[in-house]
Structure 1
Amino acid sequence: MSSTPTSTGRTAGRPGAAGRGAGRVASLCWIAVLLDGFDLVVVPTTLSGLSAEWGLSAGGASALITVGLVGMMVGALTIGTLTDLLGRRKALITSVTAFSVLTLLCALAPNPFVFGLLRFLAGLGLGGCLPTAIAMVNEFSRGARGGRVTTTMMTGYHVGAVATAALGILVVEPLGWRWMYVIGALPALVLVPLMLRHLPESAAYLLSHGRRAEAEEVARRHGLTLEDPAAPVDPHAGEASTGGAAATLATLFRGGYLRNTLAIGVTSFMGLLLVYGLNNWLPGIMREAGYDLGAQLAFLTVLNVGAIVGLLVAGTVADRIGVRTAGVGWFAAAALFLALLSIRLPLAGIYLMVFLTGCFVFSAQVLVYALVSGNHPPQVRGTALGWSAGAGRVGAIVGPLLAGLLVGAGVAFPWGFYLFAVVGVLGAAALAVTRTAARRPA
């Protein structure tokens, strides 16, 4: 069997073995992202049980949802940076372990204050999963373009959300809300040992930290081409690998990175405002529009099914026409279909509009992650992805609050959809001003 040369001049291992190794990395990262999808809906799924046991007010219930999102924002910003300093493997395994242990402790919480603290701490760990997993899966993509790699991995997010919602129907009523958090912690019993055994350190990270011999060995075993750690844009980027967390983060706010950093921050804010605003309040908006309860819950399911289909399509399109171009188009299409949701249609027609909205809204934000991953060199990639996810988590907090205010005021239909459409347009405009750069082999 022939061997494949890497850019270092050494030969890769057997292609089949390399493919299996890269596939294991992608599978482990997919499962880690699935846990993010679990967290998206686990508190709303268990909220009735929490409220009944502790007598929560509407404000208290909202606080329990929000505190986890705040933890994710802080976790994305901090762990995203640490992954560039300490390594992808260590950061991802630590994040999964911490999130799982703290989720299990949520099942034992004696009151809402302890529960909220545990949710915040679990959010810190979970917030680090997404940027680290995206960096890993792109760096082990074996030359594949980043759009399809990123969007395929992110299907795990919506599979996790749909599965958790379905699991809640089977578990919460007969067994109680605490069992959802026990079940949510169980994947770590399998996932963490598998990561310890099969998840290698990123070759790109190793090379950017001067560990060339280790990087070449990982590249040989997984059929990779090493990336240039000094790649494009900012001549000071190399300082990030030696200057600590502050220097690594500061790199994004100077020189050639500043424009992209600000634009990506705005785009991610808009993108996750839409994702979390719709996932939390679409049933409420549709109730205001006069649809019955069964239809309201079906809309949420159709929205997330559309998200999975949209992710698979978006990655293929992005790899053909460019991630930025596809992202701008996806945000613009999301704005269009959000505006069309304000029109009263027959039930079949509104289901179609919700499906198409899901196709574009969720994958638009994922294309932002693909753009970030493909346009930053290894030594700041985790930090850039952490910034993107962290800025987006602010939007994730604002979206449900804003939609809730509109529902409370009785104006969410149609004005909520018009507002969301404007957010989509702003996301497209912000993404349009970003710059792209090609990766270079080492």
Structure 2
Amino acid sequence: MSPLPSPGRSGWVLPLCWAAVLLDGFDLVVLGTVLPVLLRDDVWGFDPGTASAVTTIGLTGMIVGSLVTGAVTDLIGRRKALIISVVIFSVFTALCAFATSATTFGALRFLAGLGLGGCLPTAITMVGEHARRERGGAVTTTLMTGYHVGAVITALLGISVIPALGWRAMFVIGAAPALVLVPLMIKYLPESTSFAENERAGRTTDGRAAVRTLFTGDLLRATLAFCLASFMGLLLVYGLNTWLPVIMREAGYPLGAALSLLLTLNVGAIVGLLIAGYVGDRIGLRRAATGWFGAAAVFLALLSIKLPGPGLYAAVFMAGFFVFSAQVLVYAYVGRTYPAASRATGMGTVAGVGRVGAICGPLLGGSLVSAGIAYPWGFYAFAVVGAFGAVAISLVGVRAARPVPAPGVQAGV
């Protein structure tokens, strides 16, 4: 039986899920930090095409992981699914340090992607189900600060570790924290209230019924709109984090400055996340997400203009502020829309389709880099994607509901 939430255990939910998402955030940026080195040193014959292929393979693993784990989570529980996901991506991330060819590296990125794809939607579902009803959006965006704290740490490590220890060390460092995190999760992480109570009552989830629910009645339109918005949001997230350093180097900035801009992008993301959830809880998640996507489009277009140093960093900061939290507001909206029995399936489906956008973002950036037009046209293209995201989320058509926790359970997040 799964451990039920208790005052002692519930307090562990947010910090443990936050730490898991932090490791996921490491993976978001690690390829972007090592790509300039792989390309510069012609490691395994790396060129923009090879880099795009490896990125695509890894993200394909995330798609499979998101879609499969979402449904499995509604069957075996949020706790087991999250722990398994962290183990899988940590083991294969560590093994990336020992790759001997681009093919092996790509295969390991695919296998790590299976765990990474399952981690994020499961963690979001878990903290949402433990959250007090008035804090659903804020808790989701707070959780996602871990994603970008991981990205910031990775960018900082890239600046200091790669020159001293080489690119391989990045993957060892990124996987090592799981040696502490997994035992803590096994000991302290409780199951969500809804799943644990259903399990003890002998009520089982029908996986096929959970999937059908996503495409029934008003939820059909919502599911399609969520998937489109998630596609656009993750296209921006992965496109920018993978190619921003390379694009800025094409614009004439040195590697150190390009990595500093990547760092600035993710610092902006953290600040945006701390604010976006509270705004969404007050004005509504649909209105907030629509506004965030629209503002992201504006600031991405602004990056196409040659700006003085402080102005450039300010524009990159504001782009990060809006781009990343727009995507997280989509997740918060999903968590408020689907019933508990199909919530993880819905989250996994939306995240899985979104990962297709995560593939298209690096492919778009890679094609523009290969054509020699990534600066400034890449930012125009990303701005259009942001505008499409705003349109998509405005079409969801289902008002976000207030989640009601089980009677007598004090949420710890």
TM-score (norm 1): 0.84
For structure 2, the 5+ residue unaligned runs are: 407-413
The structure having more radius of gyration, on CA atoms, is 1
Q: Which residue of 1 aligns with 2:284?
A: 322
Q: Which residue of 2 aligns with 1:166?
A: 156
Bigger mean CA offset, 116-125 vs 167-176: 167-176
What SS is found at the alignment partner of 1:62? helix
**Residue 49 of structure 1: how far off its partner (Å):** 5.3
Amino acid at match of 2:163: E
* CA offset digits 1:354-403 (Å, max 9, x no partner): 11111101100000000001111211111111111111111111112112
2:200 to 199, 211, 228: 211
Amino acid at match of 1:174: A
Q: Which residue of 1 aligns with 2:333?
A: 371
2:299 to 331, 337, 344: 337
Task: Work out whether residues 20 and 119 of structure 2, in 8 Å CA contact, stay in contact via their aligned partners in 1.
Answer: yes
Q: Which residue of 2 aligns with 1:100?
A: 90
Q: Which residue of 1 aligns with 2:55?
A: 65
Aligned 1:281-360 pairs, distance under 5 A: 281-360=243-322
Task: Work out whether residues 226 and 330 of structure 2, in 8 Å CA contact, stay in contact via their aligned partners in 1.
Answer: yes
Bigger mean CA offset, 338-347 vs 51-60: 51-60
Distance 1:281 1:175 in 2: 23
Structure-2 change in CA distance of 1:388 and 1:353 (3 Å): same
Amino acid at match of 2:271: V
1:243 to 196, 203, 206: 206
Task: Work out whether residues 32 and 245 of structure 2, in 8 Å CA contact, stay in contact via their aligned partners in 1.
Answer: no
Q: Which residue of 2 aligns with 1:41?
A: 29
Task: Work out whether residues 134 and 281 of structure 2, in 8 Å CA contact, stay in contact via their aligned partners in 1.
Answer: no
Distance 1:46 1:413 in 2: 20
Q: Which residue of 1 aligns with 2:374?
A: 412
Aligned 1:223-242 pairs, distance under 5 A: 241-242=204-205
Bigger mean CA offset, 158-167 vs 339-348: 339-348
Q: Which residue of 1 aligns with 2:410?
A: none
Distance 1:189 1:46 in 2: 24
Q: Confirm whether residue 254 of structure 1 aligns to residue 216 of structure 2.
A: yes
**Residue 293 of structure 1: how far off its partner (Å):** 4.5
Q: Which residue of 1 aligns with 2:394?
A: 432
What SS is found at the alignment partner of 2:305? coil
Task: Work out whether residues 155 and 259 of structure 2, in 8 Å CA contact, stay in contact via their aligned partners in 1.
Answer: no
**Residue 84 of structure 1: how far off its partner (Å):** 0.7
Distance 1:23 1:333 in 2: 35
Structure-2 change in CA distance of 1:55 and 1:169 (3 Å): same
Distance 1:319 1:179 in 2: 41
Q: Confirm whether residue 75 of structure 1 aligns to residue 65 of structure 2.
A: yes
Task: Work out whether residues 76 and 386 of structure 1, in 8 Å CA contact, stay in contact via their aligned partners in 2.
Answer: yes
Structure-2 change in CA distance of 1:350 and 1:372 (3 Å): same
Distance 2:399 2:123 in 1: 22
Distance 2:342 2:255 in 1: 47
**Residue 290 of structure 1: how far off its partner (Å):** 4.4
Amino acid at match of 1:274: L
Distance 1:297 1:122 in 2: 24
Distance 2:131 2:10 in 1: 7
**Residue 165 of structure 1: how far off its partner (Å):** 2.2
**Residue 441 of structure 1: how far off its partner (Å):** 6.1
What SS is found at the alignment partner of 1:254? coil
**Residue 294 of structure 1: how far off its partner (Å):** 4.3
Amino acid at match of 2:394: A
* CA offset digits 1:176-198 (Å, max 9, x no partner): 43332222221121111111110
Q: Confirm whether residue 21 of structure 1 aligns to residue 9 of structure 2.
A: yes
Structure-2 change in CA distance of 1:440 and 1:141 (3 Å): closer
Task: Work out whether residues 121 and 347 of structure 2, in 8 Å CA contact, stay in contact via their aligned partners in 1.
Answer: yes
Structure-2 change in CA distance of 1:53 and 1:295 (3 Å): closer
Bigger mean CA offset, 286-295 vs 373-382: 286-295
CA RMSD of aligned residues (A): 2.3
Task: Work out whether residues 55 and 362 of structure 2, in 8 Å CA contact, stay in contact via their aligned partners in 1.
Answer: no
Task: Work out whether residues 306 and 357 of structure 1, in 8 Å CA contact, stay in contact via their aligned partners in 2.
Answer: yes
Bigger mean CA offset, 249-258 vs 321-330: 249-258
Task: Work out whether residues 49 and 176 of structure 1, in 8 Å CA contact, stay in contact via their aligned partners in 2.
Answer: no
Structure-2 change in CA distance of 1:268 and 1:118 (3 Å): same
Structure-2 change in CA distance of 1:24 and 1:354 (3 Å): same
Q: Which residue of 1 aligns with 2:239?
A: 277
Residue correspondences, number: 399
Higher RCO (C-alpha 8 Å, min separation 6): 2
What SS is found at the alignment partner of 1:344? coil
Structure-2 change in CA distance of 1:109 and 1:412 (3 Å): closer
Structure-2 change in CA distance of 1:410 and 1:171 (3 Å): closer
**Residue 422 of structure 1: how far off its partner (Å):** 1.5
* CA offset digits 1:67-100 (Å, max 9, x no partner): 1111111101110111011100110011111111
* CA offset digits 1:210-231 (Å, max 9, x no partner): 5359xxxxxxxxxxxxxxxxxx
For structure 1, the 5+ residue unaligned runs are: 1-11, 214-237
Q: Confirm whether residue 381 of structure 1 aligns to residue 343 of structure 2.
A: yes
